[in-house]
Amino acid sequence: MDVSGKTVLLTGATGGLGQAIARAFARRGARLVLTGRRTEVLEPLAAQLGARTIAVDLAVPAEVDRLIAEAGDVDVLIANAALPASGRIERFTVEEIDRALAVNLRAPIVLARAYAPAMAQRGGGHIVLMSSLSGKAAMAGGSLYSATKFGLRGFGLALREDWRDRGVGVSVVSPGFIRDAGMFHDAGATLPPGVGTRSPEDVAEATLRAVERNRGEVEVAPPQLRLGALASQVVPELAARVARRMGAGKVAGELAEGQRDKR
CA–CA separation, 73 and 24 (whole Å): 21
Residue 207 neighbours by CB under 8 Å, 6+ apart:
21, 24, 78, 128, 130, 171, 173, 218
- CA separation, residue 15 to residues 18, 22, 196 (Å): 5, 10, 21
Of 25, 115, 145, 150, the catalytic one is: 145
Residue 93 neighbours by CB under 8 Å, 6+ apart:
none
Tell me which residue of 96, 84, 81 sits closest to 187, measured CA to CA: 84
Indicate if 145 belongs to the active site: yes
Strand, coil or helix: what is 221? coil
Q: pLDDT tens digits, the chain, 263 residues: what are they?
A: 999 999 999 999 999 999 999 999 999 999 999 999 999 999 999 999 999 999 999 999 999 999 999 999 999 999 999 998 878 899 899 999 999 999 999 999 999 999 999 999 999 999 999 999 989 888 778 899 999 999 999 999 999 999 999 999 999 999 988 888 766 666 666 666 667 788 999 999 999 999 999 999 999 998 887 887 787 788 877 767 766 666 566 666 656 566 666 65
CA–CA separation, 184 and 66 (whole Å): 30
CA–CA separation, 66 and 83 (whole Å): 20
Pairing relation of β-strands 168-175 and 217-220?
Answer: parallel
pTM recorded for the entire structure: 0.89
- Domains belonging to the chain, first-starting first, are 7-262 (3.40.50.720)
Q: Which pLDDT score is estimated for 30?
A: 98
Beta strands in the chain (DSSP E): 7-10, 31-36, 52-55, 76-79, 125-130, 168-175, 217-220
Q: Which pLDDT score is estimated for 14?
A: 93
